[in-house]
Chain A
Amino acid sequence: MDGIAWAVSAMSAAQTRLDVAAANLANAATEGFRRSTLRGSLTASGVRLQQVLDGAQGPLRQTGRPFDLAIAGRGTFRVRGPNGKTFSTRCGSFTRDRNGHLVDRAGRSLLGTSGPIVVPSGGGIEASGEVTGSGLKPNRIALPEGSTLRSGFAESSNVDSISEMIDILSAQRSFESAQKVVSAIDQTRERGATQVATVHS
Protein backbone atom coordinates (compact mmCIF):
# COMPACT_ATOMS: atom_id res chain seq x y z
CA MET A 1 0.00 0.00 0.00
CA ASP A 2 1.25 3.45 -0.77
CA GLY A 3 0.77 6.55 1.35
CA ILE A 4 -2.39 7.64 -0.42
CA ALA A 5 -3.99 4.24 0.11
CA TRP A 6 -3.20 4.42 3.82
CA ALA A 7 -4.66 7.89 4.11
CA VAL A 8 -7.76 6.84 2.22
CA SER A 9 -8.23 3.89 4.56
CA ALA A 10 -7.95 6.33 7.49
CA MET A 11 -10.59 8.55 5.88
CA SER A 12 -12.94 5.66 5.38
CA ALA A 13 -12.42 4.60 9.00
CA ALA A 14 -13.24 8.12 10.16
CA GLN A 15 -16.39 8.01 8.05
CA THR A 16 -17.45 4.74 9.68
CA ARG A 17 -16.81 6.25 13.12
CA LEU A 18 -19.05 9.18 12.22
CA ASP A 19 -21.78 6.84 10.87
CA VAL A 20 -21.78 4.79 14.04
CA ALA A 21 -21.67 7.77 16.41
CA ALA A 22 -24.52 9.52 14.55
CA ALA A 23 -26.66 6.37 14.63
CA ASN A 24 -25.96 5.92 18.35
CA LEU A 25 -26.80 9.53 19.05
CA ALA A 26 -30.06 9.26 17.10
CA ASN A 27 -31.02 6.40 19.44
CA ALA A 28 -30.26 8.19 22.69
CA ALA A 29 -34.01 8.14 23.44
CA THR A 30 -34.68 4.58 22.25
CA GLU A 31 -35.64 2.33 25.14
CA GLY A 32 -33.43 -0.71 25.60
CA PHE A 33 -31.07 0.40 22.83
CA ARG A 34 -27.50 -0.92 22.86
CA ARG A 35 -24.87 1.37 21.37
CA SER A 36 -22.44 0.11 18.77
CA THR A 37 -18.74 0.54 19.34
CA LEU A 38 -15.90 0.10 16.90
CA ARG A 39 -12.83 -2.00 17.42
CA GLY A 40 -10.01 -0.99 15.12
CA SER A 41 -6.96 -2.90 14.02
CA LEU A 42 -4.19 -2.30 11.52
CA THR A 43 -3.92 -4.84 8.76
CA ALA A 44 -1.85 -5.06 5.63
CA SER A 45 -4.76 -3.57 3.72
CA GLY A 46 -5.30 -0.58 5.98
CA VAL A 47 -7.38 0.16 9.05
CA ARG A 48 -10.00 -2.50 9.69
CA LEU A 49 -12.98 -1.69 11.92
CA GLN A 50 -15.30 -4.14 13.54
CA GLN A 51 -18.66 -3.16 14.99
CA VAL A 52 -19.39 -4.57 18.43
CA LEU A 53 -22.49 -4.02 20.54
CA ASP A 54 -21.81 -2.49 23.94
CA GLY A 55 -23.74 -4.64 26.40
CA ALA A 56 -23.51 -2.18 29.30
CA GLN A 57 -26.67 -1.75 31.36
CA GLY A 58 -28.71 1.33 30.46
CA PRO A 59 -30.05 3.48 33.28
CA LEU A 60 -33.45 2.41 34.67
CA ARG A 61 -36.13 5.05 34.66
CA GLN A 62 -39.31 4.79 36.71
CA THR A 63 -42.45 5.05 34.58
CA GLY A 64 -45.20 3.85 36.89
CA ARG A 65 -46.75 1.72 34.15
CA PRO A 66 -46.99 -1.82 35.52
CA PHE A 67 -46.06 -3.55 32.28
CA ASP A 68 -42.96 -1.54 31.58
CA LEU A 69 -40.39 -4.17 32.45
CA ALA A 70 -36.68 -3.60 32.76
CA ILE A 71 -34.03 -6.25 33.17
CA ALA A 72 -31.41 -5.38 35.75
CA GLY A 73 -28.47 -7.50 34.66
CA ARG A 74 -28.01 -9.71 31.62
CA GLY A 75 -30.72 -11.31 29.56
CA THR A 76 -33.28 -10.34 26.94
CA PHE A 77 -37.01 -10.56 26.39
CA ARG A 78 -38.18 -13.00 23.75
CA VAL A 79 -41.11 -11.76 21.68
CA ARG A 80 -43.01 -13.43 18.87
CA GLY A 81 -44.46 -11.53 15.94
CA PRO A 82 -47.80 -12.32 14.28
CA ASN A 83 -45.92 -14.27 11.58
CA GLY A 84 -44.39 -16.57 14.19
CA LYS A 85 -40.90 -15.10 14.00
CA THR A 86 -39.21 -14.62 17.38
CA PHE A 87 -36.94 -11.77 18.35
CA SER A 88 -34.81 -10.89 21.35
CA THR A 89 -34.99 -7.38 22.74
CA ARG A 90 -34.01 -5.39 25.81
CA CYS A 91 -36.96 -3.04 25.28
CA GLY A 92 -39.55 -4.08 27.86
CA SER A 93 -42.34 -1.65 27.10
CA PHE A 94 -45.38 -3.92 27.08
CA THR A 95 -49.12 -3.47 27.47
CA ARG A 96 -51.80 -5.93 28.31
CA ASP A 97 -54.07 -6.66 25.37
CA ARG A 98 -57.73 -7.60 25.71
CA ASN A 99 -56.90 -11.28 26.06
CA GLY A 100 -54.42 -10.60 28.84
CA HIS A 101 -51.33 -11.18 26.67
CA LEU A 102 -48.42 -8.84 27.15
CA VAL A 103 -47.62 -7.28 23.79
CA ASP A 104 -44.92 -4.85 22.72
CA ARG A 105 -45.45 -1.71 20.66
CA ALA A 106 -45.27 -3.65 17.41
CA GLY A 107 -47.96 -6.08 18.62
CA ARG A 108 -45.52 -8.92 19.27
CA SER A 109 -46.32 -11.07 22.27
CA LEU A 110 -43.91 -11.66 25.11
CA LEU A 111 -42.86 -15.28 25.54
CA GLY A 112 -42.28 -17.06 28.82
CA THR A 113 -40.83 -20.46 29.58
CA SER A 114 -44.17 -22.09 28.75
CA GLY A 115 -45.63 -20.08 25.92
CA PRO A 116 -46.91 -16.50 25.67
CA ILE A 117 -47.16 -14.58 28.93
CA VAL A 118 -50.78 -14.06 30.01
CA VAL A 119 -51.50 -11.78 32.93
CA PRO A 120 -55.00 -11.93 34.44
CA SER A 121 -56.77 -8.77 35.50
CA GLY A 122 -55.13 -7.63 38.73
CA GLY A 123 -52.07 -9.81 38.13
CA GLY A 124 -48.50 -8.74 37.66
CA ILE A 125 -44.91 -9.78 37.13
CA GLU A 126 -42.54 -10.54 40.00
CA ALA A 127 -38.86 -9.57 40.15
CA SER A 128 -38.03 -13.21 39.40
CA GLY A 129 -39.99 -13.02 36.15
CA GLU A 130 -42.82 -15.10 37.62
CA VAL A 131 -46.35 -14.19 36.51
CA THR A 132 -48.74 -13.67 39.41
CA GLY A 133 -52.51 -13.86 39.41
CA SER A 134 -55.11 -16.48 40.01
CA GLY A 135 -56.22 -19.29 37.73
CA LEU A 136 -53.10 -19.62 35.64
CA LYS A 137 -50.73 -22.36 34.69
CA PRO A 138 -47.34 -21.24 35.99
CA ASN A 139 -45.27 -19.25 33.54
CA ARG A 140 -42.28 -17.01 33.89
CA ILE A 141 -40.04 -14.76 31.88
CA ALA A 142 -36.72 -16.59 31.55
CA LEU A 143 -33.83 -14.63 33.03
CA PRO A 144 -30.21 -15.63 33.50
CA GLU A 145 -29.07 -16.19 37.05
CA GLY A 146 -28.37 -12.98 38.95
CA SER A 147 -30.68 -10.84 36.80
CA THR A 148 -33.90 -9.40 38.16
CA LEU A 149 -36.93 -7.85 36.56
CA ARG A 150 -38.15 -4.41 37.60
CA SER A 151 -41.79 -3.80 36.87
CA GLY A 152 -42.78 -0.14 36.43
CA PHE A 153 -39.35 0.73 35.07
CA ALA A 154 -37.94 1.17 31.59
CA GLU A 155 -34.35 0.72 30.62
CA SER A 156 -33.10 3.81 28.80
CA SER A 157 -30.68 3.61 25.92
CA ASN A 158 -27.08 3.07 27.02
CA VAL A 159 -25.94 5.85 24.69
CA ASP A 160 -24.13 8.69 26.38
CA SER A 161 -24.79 11.73 24.15
CA ILE A 162 -21.67 13.56 25.27
CA SER A 163 -19.27 10.79 24.37
CA GLU A 164 -21.01 10.34 21.00
CA MET A 165 -20.66 14.08 20.33
CA ILE A 166 -16.95 13.85 21.12
CA ASP A 167 -16.66 10.85 18.81
CA ILE A 168 -18.36 12.82 16.04
CA LEU A 169 -15.92 15.72 16.47
CA SER A 170 -12.87 13.52 16.64
CA ALA A 171 -13.98 11.52 13.59
CA GLN A 172 -14.39 14.78 11.74
CA ARG A 173 -10.87 15.89 12.70
CA SER A 174 -9.26 12.57 11.74
CA PHE A 175 -11.04 12.76 8.42
CA GLU A 176 -9.67 16.25 7.90
CA SER A 177 -6.11 15.23 8.85
CA ALA A 178 -6.19 12.24 6.54
CA GLN A 179 -7.43 14.46 3.75
CA LYS A 180 -4.45 16.81 4.35
CA VAL A 181 -2.11 13.82 4.09
CA VAL A 182 -3.67 12.83 0.77
CA SER A 183 -3.25 16.39 -0.49
CA ALA A 184 0.36 16.58 0.72
CA ILE A 185 1.30 13.33 -1.00
CA ASP A 186 -0.50 14.45 -4.10
CA GLN A 187 1.41 17.74 -4.15
CA THR A 188 4.72 15.96 -3.66
CA ARG A 189 3.97 13.71 -6.58
CA GLU A 190 2.91 16.64 -8.68
CA ARG A 191 6.26 18.30 -7.99
CA GLY A 192 8.01 15.06 -8.76
CA ALA A 193 6.24 14.83 -12.03
CA THR A 194 6.63 18.42 -13.12
CA GLN A 195 9.73 19.87 -11.44
CA VAL A 196 12.36 17.17 -10.87
CA ALA A 197 13.10 16.72 -14.51
CA THR A 198 12.65 20.29 -15.62
CA VAL A 199 15.31 21.08 -18.16
CA HIS A 200 16.32 24.68 -17.99
CA SER A 201 17.30 25.98 -21.29
Chain B
Amino acid sequence: MNRALWAAATGMAAQQQNLDVITQNLANADVAGFKGAFASFTDIAGPGGTLGTQSAAVRTFFNQGRLVHSGGPFDVAIDGPGFFAVHDSRGRRAYTRNGEFSRSSDGTLRNAQGWRLDGVRIPSGATGVTVRDDGTVTVQAGGSSKTCGHIRLAQFAAPDALESSGGTLFYATPSSGKPHFVAPGTPHGPSLAFGSLEQSNVTIVEAMMEILAAQRAYEANAKGVQAADEMMRIADNLSRS
Protein backbone atom coordinates (compact mmCIF):
# COMPACT_ATOMS: atom_id res chain seq x y z
CA MET B 1 0.00 0.00 0.00
CA ASN B 2 2.92 2.23 0.65
CA ARG B 3 3.98 1.60 -2.90
CA ALA B 4 0.59 2.83 -4.14
CA LEU B 5 0.76 5.78 -1.77
CA TRP B 6 4.14 6.86 -3.11
CA ALA B 7 3.18 6.27 -6.72
CA ALA B 8 0.08 8.44 -6.33
CA ALA B 9 2.15 11.09 -4.55
CA THR B 10 4.62 11.25 -7.46
CA GLY B 11 1.61 11.71 -9.77
CA MET B 12 0.39 14.63 -7.67
CA ALA B 13 3.83 16.24 -7.63
CA ALA B 14 4.10 15.86 -11.42
CA GLN B 15 0.73 17.47 -12.03
CA GLN B 16 1.61 20.25 -9.61
CA GLN B 17 4.71 21.00 -11.65
CA ASN B 18 2.73 20.75 -14.86
CA LEU B 19 0.25 23.30 -13.49
CA ASP B 20 3.08 25.65 -12.49
CA VAL B 21 4.46 25.60 -16.02
CA ILE B 22 1.06 26.10 -17.69
CA THR B 23 0.06 28.95 -15.40
CA GLN B 24 3.37 30.66 -16.10
CA ASN B 25 2.62 30.34 -19.82
CA LEU B 26 -0.84 31.76 -19.28
CA ALA B 27 0.46 34.65 -17.19
CA ASN B 28 2.81 35.63 -20.02
CA ALA B 29 0.39 35.09 -22.88
CA ASP B 30 0.39 38.85 -23.54
CA VAL B 31 4.15 39.37 -23.36
CA ALA B 32 5.75 40.04 -26.74
CA GLY B 33 8.32 37.45 -27.74
CA PHE B 34 7.41 35.11 -24.88
CA LYS B 35 7.97 31.44 -25.62
CA GLY B 36 5.82 28.94 -23.77
CA ALA B 37 7.30 25.99 -21.92
CA PHE B 38 6.03 22.52 -21.27
CA ALA B 39 6.87 19.93 -18.68
CA SER B 40 7.42 16.35 -19.68
CA PHE B 41 7.55 13.29 -17.49
CA THR B 42 9.08 9.87 -17.42
CA ASP B 43 8.30 6.80 -15.36
CA ILE B 44 10.41 5.69 -12.42
CA ALA B 45 11.54 2.17 -13.19
CA GLY B 46 11.73 -0.06 -10.16
CA PRO B 47 11.80 -3.73 -9.34
CA GLY B 48 8.49 -5.28 -10.36
CA GLY B 49 7.26 -2.46 -12.55
CA THR B 50 7.02 1.29 -12.41
CA LEU B 51 7.10 3.13 -9.09
CA GLY B 52 5.51 6.33 -10.33
CA THR B 53 6.42 9.31 -12.45
CA GLN B 54 9.05 12.02 -12.34
CA SER B 55 9.89 15.17 -14.22
CA ALA B 56 12.06 14.57 -17.28
CA ALA B 57 12.49 18.15 -18.46
CA VAL B 58 10.85 21.53 -18.72
CA ARG B 59 11.46 22.69 -22.25
CA THR B 60 10.80 25.86 -24.14
CA PHE B 61 8.58 25.68 -27.16
CA PHE B 62 10.24 27.90 -29.82
CA ASN B 63 7.44 28.02 -32.39
CA GLN B 64 6.91 31.32 -34.18
CA GLY B 65 4.41 33.71 -32.59
CA ARG B 66 2.04 35.84 -34.63
CA LEU B 67 3.35 39.23 -35.81
CA VAL B 68 1.08 42.10 -34.84
CA HIS B 69 1.43 45.72 -35.86
CA SER B 70 2.18 47.75 -32.74
CA GLY B 71 3.25 51.09 -34.17
CA GLY B 72 6.14 51.67 -31.75
CA PRO B 73 8.98 53.51 -33.53
CA PHE B 74 11.60 51.01 -32.41
CA ASP B 75 9.46 47.88 -32.28
CA VAL B 76 10.91 45.03 -34.32
CA ALA B 77 9.65 41.51 -34.82
CA ILE B 78 11.54 38.52 -36.20
CA ASP B 79 9.84 36.33 -38.75
CA GLY B 80 11.82 33.10 -38.82
CA PRO B 81 14.49 31.60 -36.60
CA GLY B 82 16.92 33.80 -34.68
CA PHE B 83 17.23 36.10 -31.69
CA PHE B 84 18.19 39.69 -30.96
CA ALA B 85 21.41 39.84 -28.97
CA VAL B 86 21.24 42.15 -25.95
CA HIS B 87 23.64 42.86 -23.09
CA ASP B 88 22.17 42.24 -19.65
CA SER B 89 22.87 44.41 -16.62
CA ARG B 90 26.02 42.40 -15.82
CA GLY B 91 27.31 42.74 -19.36
CA ARG B 92 26.49 39.16 -20.23
CA ARG B 93 25.00 38.53 -23.63
CA ALA B 94 21.40 37.39 -23.63
CA TYR B 95 19.12 36.52 -26.53
CA THR B 96 15.52 37.51 -26.96
CA ARG B 97 12.72 37.63 -29.51
CA ASN B 98 11.02 40.46 -27.69
CA GLY B 99 11.72 43.40 -30.00
CA GLU B 100 10.09 46.08 -27.90
CA PHE B 101 12.98 48.53 -27.88
CA SER B 102 13.15 52.19 -27.06
CA ARG B 103 15.83 54.75 -27.65
CA SER B 104 17.73 55.68 -24.52
CA SER B 105 19.52 58.97 -23.86
CA ASP B 106 22.92 57.54 -24.87
CA GLY B 107 21.59 56.65 -28.31
CA THR B 108 21.40 52.91 -27.78
CA LEU B 109 18.27 50.85 -28.21
CA ARG B 110 17.21 49.18 -25.00
CA ASN B 111 14.52 46.70 -24.09
CA ALA B 112 12.05 46.98 -21.20
CA GLN B 113 14.71 45.77 -18.71
CA GLY B 114 17.09 48.45 -19.97
CA TRP B 115 19.32 45.93 -21.72
CA ARG B 116 21.18 47.21 -24.75
CA LEU B 117 20.68 45.84 -28.25
CA ASP B 118 23.95 44.73 -29.77
CA GLY B 119 25.37 46.67 -32.71
CA VAL B 120 23.32 49.85 -32.92
CA ARG B 121 24.01 53.34 -31.58
CA ILE B 122 22.03 56.28 -32.84
CA PRO B 123 23.93 59.61 -32.60
CA SER B 124 22.29 62.46 -30.72
CA GLY B 125 20.36 64.90 -32.83
CA ALA B 126 19.78 62.32 -35.51
CA THR B 127 16.41 62.28 -37.15
CA GLY B 128 14.68 60.03 -39.63
CA VAL B 129 15.87 56.69 -38.29
CA THR B 130 15.26 53.99 -40.86
CA VAL B 131 16.14 50.33 -40.79
CA ARG B 132 16.59 48.46 -44.00
CA ASP B 133 15.47 44.88 -44.54
CA ASP B 134 19.04 43.67 -44.12
CA GLY B 135 19.15 45.18 -40.62
CA THR B 136 21.24 48.24 -41.50
CA VAL B 137 20.21 51.22 -39.39
CA THR B 138 20.59 54.64 -41.05
CA VAL B 139 19.86 58.13 -39.77
CA GLN B 140 19.63 61.59 -41.32
CA ALA B 141 22.24 63.81 -39.68
CA GLY B 142 23.34 67.17 -41.00
CA GLY B 143 21.56 66.68 -44.30
CA SER B 144 23.17 63.39 -45.19
CA SER B 145 22.31 59.76 -44.57
CA LYS B 146 24.62 57.88 -42.22
CA THR B 147 24.83 54.23 -41.22
CA CYS B 148 24.87 53.81 -37.45
CA GLY B 149 24.73 50.10 -36.95
CA HIS B 150 23.45 46.73 -38.05
CA ILE B 151 20.88 44.50 -36.44
CA ARG B 152 22.16 40.95 -36.64
CA LEU B 153 20.24 37.89 -35.60
CA ALA B 154 21.79 35.16 -33.48
CA GLN B 155 21.06 31.60 -34.48
CA PHE B 156 21.99 28.46 -32.60
CA ALA B 157 22.71 24.94 -33.71
CA ALA B 158 20.57 23.67 -30.84
CA PRO B 159 18.19 26.41 -29.66
CA ASP B 160 16.34 23.83 -27.52
CA ALA B 161 19.37 23.76 -25.24
CA LEU B 162 19.32 27.52 -24.50
CA GLU B 163 18.86 28.43 -20.86
CA SER B 164 15.58 30.26 -20.36
CA SER B 165 15.34 33.22 -18.03
CA GLY B 166 11.64 33.88 -17.67
CA GLY B 167 10.61 32.89 -21.17
CA THR B 168 11.68 35.98 -23.11
CA LEU B 169 15.41 36.05 -22.40
CA PHE B 170 17.76 33.20 -23.11
CA TYR B 171 21.41 32.48 -22.48
CA ALA B 172 23.75 30.34 -24.52
CA THR B 173 24.95 27.10 -22.93
CA PRO B 174 27.70 24.66 -23.96
CA SER B 175 25.05 22.36 -25.43
CA SER B 176 23.30 25.08 -27.42
CA GLY B 177 26.59 25.98 -29.08
CA LYS B 178 27.91 29.46 -29.81
CA PRO B 179 25.68 31.94 -31.62
CA HIS B 180 26.02 32.30 -35.32
CA PHE B 181 25.11 35.81 -36.49
CA VAL B 182 23.17 36.29 -39.69
CA ALA B 183 21.89 39.35 -41.48
CA PRO B 184 18.11 39.39 -41.84
CA GLY B 185 16.36 39.71 -45.17
CA THR B 186 18.11 36.98 -47.14
CA PRO B 187 15.85 34.80 -49.33
CA HIS B 188 15.62 31.73 -47.05
CA GLY B 189 16.59 33.37 -43.76
CA PRO B 190 14.66 35.29 -41.13
CA SER B 191 13.28 38.73 -41.87
CA LEU B 192 12.50 41.72 -39.70
CA ALA B 193 9.17 43.53 -39.45
CA PHE B 194 9.42 47.07 -38.15
CA GLY B 195 6.62 48.63 -36.15
CA SER B 196 5.48 45.11 -35.29
CA LEU B 197 5.91 42.82 -32.33
CA GLU B 198 5.87 39.06 -32.15
CA GLN B 199 3.08 37.86 -29.90
CA SER B 200 3.74 35.08 -27.41
CA ASN B 201 3.26 31.62 -28.87
CA VAL B 202 0.90 30.67 -26.02
CA THR B 203 -2.69 29.98 -27.02
CA ILE B 204 -4.93 30.97 -24.14
CA VAL B 205 -7.69 28.46 -24.93
CA GLU B 206 -5.17 25.63 -25.18
CA ALA B 207 -3.52 26.65 -21.91
CA MET B 208 -6.91 26.77 -20.17
CA MET B 209 -7.71 23.28 -21.41
CA GLU B 210 -4.33 22.03 -20.21
CA ILE B 211 -5.04 23.51 -16.78
CA LEU B 212 -8.36 21.68 -16.55
CA ALA B 213 -6.75 18.40 -17.59
CA ALA B 214 -3.89 18.85 -15.11
CA GLN B 215 -6.31 19.65 -12.28
CA ARG B 216 -8.36 16.53 -12.97
CA ALA B 217 -5.23 14.42 -13.14
CA TYR B 218 -4.09 15.90 -9.83
CA GLU B 219 -7.43 15.02 -8.24
CA ALA B 220 -7.32 11.48 -9.62
CA ASN B 221 -3.90 10.95 -8.03
CA ALA B 222 -5.18 12.46 -4.78
CA LYS B 223 -7.93 9.80 -4.84
CA GLY B 224 -5.18 7.20 -5.24
CA VAL B 225 -3.53 8.55 -2.07
CA GLN B 226 -6.87 8.37 -0.25
CA ALA B 227 -7.51 4.81 -1.38
CA ALA B 228 -4.07 3.70 -0.21
CA ASP B 229 -4.66 5.43 3.11
CA GLU B 230 -8.07 3.82 3.49
CA MET B 231 -6.61 0.38 2.85
CA MET B 232 -3.99 0.94 5.50
CA ARG B 233 -6.79 1.82 7.89
CA ILE B 234 -8.62 -1.40 7.01
CA ALA B 235 -5.45 -3.42 7.48
CA ASP B 236 -5.05 -1.75 10.85
CA ASN B 237 -8.54 -2.91 11.84
CA LEU B 238 -7.47 -6.52 11.44
CA SER B 239 -5.76 -6.44 14.77
CA ARG B 240 -8.65 -4.73 16.53
CA SER B 241 -11.64 -6.83 15.42
Contacts and interface: CB of A to CB of B under 8 A. Distances in A.
Interface in A160-200: 161, 164-165, 168-169, 171-172, 175-176, 179, 182-183, 186-187
Q: Name the interface size band of chain B.
A: 35 or more
Contact of A26 (B14, B57, B158, B227): B14
A150 B236 CA distance: 51
A183 B241 contact: yes
Nearest to B11: A26
B142 interface: no
Contacts, number: 142
Given A65-B61, A179-B238, A169 B227 contact: yes
Given A27-B43, A30-B43, A98-B158, A175 B52 contact: no
Contacts of B41: 27, 29-31
B76 interface: no
B196 interface: no
| Chain A residues touching B, majority SS | helix
A64 B61 CA distance: 9
B82 to A, nearest CB: 13
Given A25-B221, A26-B52, A97-B157, 10 more contacts: A20-B49, A22-B3, A22-B227, A25-B220, A26-B7, A26-B14, A27-B41, A29-B214, A30-B43, A98-B156
Interface of B: 1, 3-5, 7-8, 10-11, 14-15, 18, 40-43, 48-53, 56-57, 59, 61, 63, 156-158, 160-161, 175-177, 214, 216-217, 220-221, 223-224, 227-228, 230-231, 234-235, 237-238, 241
16 contacts: A18-B228, A22-B8, A22-B224, A23-B50, A25-B220, A26-B8, A26-B10, A27-B43, A93-B40, A96-B160, A97-B158, A97-B175, A121-B157, A161-B220, A175-B234, A179-B237
